[in-house]
Structure 1
Amino acid sequence: MSETASTRATRRTPDRPLHAAPDLLSSLAPLLAAWVPRQRWFAGKGRLITGFSLVSATELLPCTADGGTPGMVQLLVRAQQAAPPTRATVAGDCYQLLLGVHPALPPRLAPAALGRPAGGPLRGRTVYDALLDSRLCGLLLERLRVPGRIGALRFCREPDTELPSGLPARPIAVEQSNSSVVYGDTFILKVFRRIAPGLNPDLELPRALAGAHCPRVPAPVAWFESEAAEEGGEPTTLGVLQPYLPDSADGWQLALHALSVRSDFTGPARALGHATAEVHTALARALPTTALHRPQLAEIAARMHARLEATARAVPLLEPYRPRLRTAFDALAALGHDGRSWAAQRIHGDLHLGQTLRTAGEGRWSLIDFEGEPARPLAERRRLQPALRDVAAMLRSFDYAARSGPAGGDAWSLEWAQRTRDAYCHGYAEAGGLDPHAAPELMRAYETDKAVYEVLYEARHRPDWLAVPMAAVRRLAAGD
């Protein structure tokens, strides 16, 4: 049977690879416009997508029309949106997409499907989320086993690190701000979805901690990245492979369980304070530090003020508390007036109970996910900051657990939160961290700033949870 003109026009020939096909993105755009906004990692919810622009495309597995084997393509695309950007969402955000291409998608992968392009080089084939296909996830591990370059991507591995082949891949289907795949019980691959140019802290900081011989953080063994946009610039981190800790439970689930059975949690909290201080000490030893004087403290306070004002405009429920919350930031700015300075260093940046793991046997804590708050710019996440910002964030997490667990914020659970918060602070000070009780202005400012961030997040994503940070707002506004 002879080819039609349409078939000849859309077939990809050897001298026109997939990434060079001019109609690749335009043919995928209708599918992406319907699929991308439904993903947890999409930062522009509530704003119309007006189009996409292609940053790069790399064919990891041939996407030919022949045979029944899947293809795989990695895309970096910018999502153009109609409404003006806010602090949390920048116009033209860049996202990483890993797409499978299959002539006839097996039924088990039906939930992963984006659809069939009506034209372009992938016309007539089903396009789907490759990170929900264990077979294609296995291909990513094979790429990491053999360092080298494929198109715009570079696959890297730590020297003297062996990665076994054939480990079964298990995609984690839980909705997250990124996507993860577990290989056997040995490794976990985090694939970053919202991409900012440069070195991601979730690769940078664990590597530095490994160099400082800090055992509290799983050390990266491999990663992949895209080449720097400018000569001499840093490559952009796209994914990180780390050891998987199969016999561990995350701190959030452990705390909720303790609340559900009305069990004391001060021992684990004190040990977690120790672990946090050890990580901060190692980061200060491995990476640059600085001192914050009056101008820097005033600048930090000004940013906190700006976030408060923007959040009060977006969430009117916050407005009555705004004047009293401002006093916490004013007190921070005033700290430098007497000539005092405060140490600043690299920190975790988004520390909460869900970013911690505790082994089932010895009860040892580890810290994970050093990416920082994904909604904030990469330069801000890599900024040197007081280590007590992490401590304040963890205190907010204990409060979250007490107010959202089975007890629902009753008198016993609130007392549990206070005891647990105190134990964590004592453990942190015992292990060499600055005693949080010795820096009340700093702690109140950072806890207030975190609560304001939580109000905006919950109002946008989980309105049913808004009461949790608002309870903290009322307490902090009262000066407690």
Structure 2
Amino acid sequence: MLDELLATWIGRQRWFGGKGRPIDGLWIESDVELTPGLRHLVVAVRQDDSRERYQLLLGERTVLPERLGHALIGTLGDTYLYDAVHDSDRTGWLLDGMAREQDHNGLRLRHMPGATIDTSPRSLVLGAEQSNTSLVYGDAYICKLFRRLVPGVNPELEIVTALAARDAPHIAQPYGWIETDLDGTDTTLAFMQEFLSAANDGWDLALTSVRDLYASLPEVPAAEAGGDFAAESLRLGSATARVHHELAAAFPTDVIAVHEVKRMAEGFRRRLGRAVAEVPELREHVSVIEQAYHEVDLLTSEVPVQRVHGDYHLGQVMRTPTDWVVLDFEGEPGQPLQERRALSSPLRDVAGMLRSFDYAARHLLAGHPEAGRLEPRAQEWADRNRAAFLEGYAEGGGVITEADATLLRAFEMAKAVYEVVYEARNRPAWISIPLAAFRPRS
């Protein structure tokens, strides 16, 4: 009966990865009582020929408070079953377990060496996430529960703990994690870090700057408009280079041979072909994109690779009162774990951030009645902040040679092609944002 309730409920959750496809089967692989009224479930979902696992903190109450009504899964007899991440009366167990390093029927709760965890704060769920669920405990901690479970150590835990061991800057300090065994492999269930309560989201700060520019007189250049963001973009570029340096020091590095670089360009072309078949608006830009990929074919030197962020954009960075902090090192959650842990060129991260500046500049123009008049201002803002970021990256020790610039442009083109397909599928009104990437820049 519980599996039937879960099969109905899980498909409606924002973190469920199989939306739009029927659930062919659901079963509970693991059911551990953590404390009276709180259970930890690992649920397997079959769709078509694939199986995915998800984790759930299942709460049980005979009376459900109104504040938990939105978390209701269903009832069995006289017992209400609900998603207990929303129940601050229950989630203190996670803090307590990490503080005491408990082992609980296959669940292992750990804290960083030397860390002291205050178990008194109560939790609140952050509402913005899609693929995970994060609990904020007071102004001290943020604990991310990885809803979709993939056997293995999550890259975010692996990277942040390694950087913290080096006293690296630009990261939120780690405090603890929860793990279990899946398919005989240590698997990360949750990761807790310092909560940056006084920090501001990079995307929000950038949008504020763009709004200020649009509100200023047309003849006022971006450099003189209120809320100019270029100085922050410069600092962010420097911080990004430092993070790349620390990643290269903490993990193995390598190079990819010239023939492998050409194979990468061929992969870009295959994805472009599929994208054009799905989104006809791309067709008129194929020659520009192909030219960028052709330039990669002409490279004659090896390309250094290392661990990278893997999903880098303005929403993954926070501005504290003193500097920029980089978050969410888990890579793209929808990709296989092996891919997320693979070595890659740091230019991939640089390209992701450059694309994010373009998105910030044009995000407010989607459906705007004066989009045509404001487009040059959007281009000006994007160009100014892209240049500042690259300048800061160089000042921070990030090297971009002529060959690197060629590869960087190809990474940008490939990212923009991906964005076109995404927007066509999910937000057709936004498709003009990535399409602008293929126009000549001043």
- Determine if the TM-score, normalized by the shorter chain, exceeds 0.5: yes
1:341 maps to which of 302, 319, 322: 302
1:76 aligns with 2:42: yes
- Paired residue secondary structure (2:139): coil
Question: For residues 25 and 296 of structure 2, what CA distance do their matches in structure 1 show?
Answer: 43
Flag the 1:72–1:292 CA change in 2: closer, same or farther, 3 A.
Answer: same
Cα distance in 1 for residues equivalent to 2:336 and 2:7 = 24
Quote how far apart the aligned CAs of 1:43 are: 1.7
Question: Which residue of the other structure, out of 237, 262, 266, is the alignment partner of 1:273?
Answer: 237
- 2:269 is paired with a residue of what secondary structure? helix
How many residue pairs are counted as aligned between the two chains? 423
- Tell me, yes or no, if the aligned pair for 1:425 and 1:436 is still in contact at 8 Å: no
CA distance in 2, matches of 1:37, 1:328: 41
Give the conservation status (yes or no) of the 8 Å contact 1:72–1:136: yes
Counterpart selection for 1:49 from 23, 26, 29: 23
Which residue number corresponds to residue 290 of structure 2?
Answer: 326
Contact 2:3 2:28 (C-alpha < 8 Å) held by counterparts: no
Q: Secondary structure at the match of 2:41?
A: strand
Superimposed CA distance per residue, residues 212-231 of structure 1 (whole angstroms, 9 cap, x where no aligned partner): 2212101211000112523x
Report if aligned partners of 1:130, 1:136 keep a CA contact under 8 Å in 2: yes
Q: How far did 1:274 drift?
A: 0.5
- Report the residue type matching 1:73 in the other structure: R
Q: In the TM superposition, what are the counterparts of 1:70-469 in structure 2 within 5 Å? A: 71-82=37-48, 91-117=50-76, 123-230=77-184, 233=185, 235-262=186-213, 263-322=227-286, 324-335=288-299, 338=300, 340-359=301-320, 361-362=321-322, 364-405=323-364, 410-435=375-400, 439-469=404-434
| 1:278-316 superposed Cα distances (whole Å, 9 cap, x missing partner) | 000011011100011123213322332333333334434
Q: Which moved more, 1:446-455 or 1:184-193?
A: 446-455
**Partner Cα distance (2:429, 2:354) in 1:** 21
Letter of the structure 1 residue corresponding to residue 101 of structure 2: P
Alignment-mate amino acid for residue 356 of structure 1 = V
Q: Do 1:137 and 1:169's aligned partners in 2 also have CA atoms closer than 8 Å?
A: yes
- Counterpart amino acid of residue 132 in structure 2: N
Q: Partners of 1:303 and 1:61 in 2: how far apart?
A: 50
Aligned alpha-carbon RMSD (Å): 2.1
Query: Given that residues 133 and 171 in structure 1 are in contact (C-alpha distance below 8 angstroms), is that contact kept between their aligned partners in structure 2?
Result: no
**Which is worse superposed, 294-303 or 420-429?**
294-303
Label 1:175 to 1:215 Cα distance change in 2 as closer, same or farther (>3 A): closer
Quote how far apart the aligned CAs of 1:35 are. Answer: 2.2
Partner of 2:216 in structure 1?
none
What SS does the aligned partner of 1:429 have? helix
* 3-state DSSP of counterpart to 1:135: coil
1:58 aligned onto 2:32: yes
C-alpha distance in 1, partners of 2:282/2:42? Answer: 37
Once residues 470 and 343 of structure 1 are traced to their aligned partners in structure 2, the CA distance between those partners, rounded to angstroms, is: 30
**Partner amino acid, structure 2, of 1:28:** L
Q: Deviations over 1:460-480 (max 9, x none)?
A: 3333333322222x32xx698
> Following the alignment from structure 2 to structure 1, what is the Cα–Cα distance between the partners of residues 342 and 428?
31
Change (3 A) 1:207 1:114: same
Counterpart Cα distance in 2 of 1:417 and 1:268: 13
For structure 2, the residue ranges without an aligned partner over 5 or more in a row are: 214-226
Q: 2:31 aligns to what SS in structure 1? A: strand
Amino acid at match of 1:34: T
User: Quick check: 1:392–1:446 contact (8 Å CA) kept in 2?
Assistant: yes
SS in 2 for 1:439: helix
- Tell me which moved more, 291-300 or 279-288: 291-300
Matched letter for residue 32 of structure 2: T
Give the CA deviation at 1:323.
5.3
Judge conservation of contact 2:152–2:187 (CA < 8 Å) in 1.
yes
Report percent identity of matched pairs: 43
What amino acid is aligned across from residue 81 of structure 1 in structure 2? Q
What's the TM-score once normalised by structure 1's chain length?
A: 0.83
Letter in 2 for 1:208: A
Q: 1:28 to 1:279 in 2, by over 3 A?
A: same
Q: Determine whether 1:40 maps to 2:5.
A: no
Matched position secondary structure for 1:92: strand
Counting only pairs closer than 5 Å after superposition, residues 3-42 of structure 1 correspond to structure 2 as 27-42=1-16
- Contact residue 132 and residue 173 of structure 1 kept, 8 A: no
Distance 2:420 2:22 in 1: 23
Where 1:134 maps in the other structure, the secondary structure is coil
Partner Cα separation in structure 2 for residue 249 and residue 239 of structure 1: 24
Q: Distance in 1 between matches of 2:233 and 2:196?
A: 20
